[in-house]
Amino acid sequence: MKIISSIHALRAQLSGQNRIAFVPTMGNLHEGHLSLMRLARQHGDPVVASIFVNRLQFGPQEDFDTYPRSFEDDVEKLEKEGVYVLFAPHEREMYPQAQEYRIDPPHHLGDMLEGEFRPGFFKGVCTVVLKLFACVQPRVAVFGKKDYQQLMIIRQMCEQFALPVEIVPAQTVRAQDGLALSSRNSGLSEIERAQAPFLYQTLSALKDAIVAGRHDFSDLEKESMAALIAHGWQPDYLSVRRRCDLQPAHVGDASLVVVAAAKLGATRLIDNLEI
């Protein structure tokens, strides 16, 4: 595997490749990330990964400086997966000057749910993803469904800018107890880790209630939020939405998804389940 840190060298290395499958990451890789690499290989060749902790998507009170970084371990994992190129730029390479041009998603999609509780988050995500696409020039790019809203926003950005990149969604990878794998899970204490699967259990119970015929979505959301609070969580949101546009669900809507974000101690976890 070639490790490249400059945009010029990356473009030279990938010159002539027209079936690149790309997986952007912020590092601290786990089995969920590695499953994205395997899925990428099914859709293109060569597989290119990136590791870049993007300051633009972190708020002033968020964990940019303490975000877990494990570069040497990440390199070893990617080599075992047969990744062809790891693009690992320094911040000054990606942003040699202040990034004044930003991609701002539409209000109706970017300022709700995650966007409401993390103002500017999706602007930072879209900006860095567009820049990474310009650097790598992939044919396909793989994004996990765990970040459900992000996946939708990136897909729509590609459509509206007519980018020649197919966005491939990947199913959420979970631990045996149901906890969605996340780089931030490493911030959980031993006691918190034992409690963490309760978020998935809460979403599963809500899904089961809807499948069984309950359509009082507001009451279901309130009951689920109350259950999280009773177990020591600090929920930001838990909401039943339409998959097609992430707008609030109404009776008669098909193809739903329940999305949630909540803090357990100092660690903020997100999860979702399609219904």
User: Could you list the active site residues?
Assistant: 33
Spell out where the chain has E strands: 2-4, 21-25, 47-51, 85-87, 140-144, 166-170, 234-242, 256-264, 267-274
CA angle 35-194-274, nearest 5°? 50
Q: Give the whole-angstrom CA distance, residue 270 versus residue 1.
A: 32
Q: Give the whole-angstrom CA distance, residue 82 versus residue 194.
A: 33
Cα separation values, 21 from 39, 42, 137, 170, 242, Å? 9, 9, 9, 13, 29
N- to C-terminal Cα separation, the chain: 40
Q: Is-contact 40 51, C-beta < 8 A?
A: no
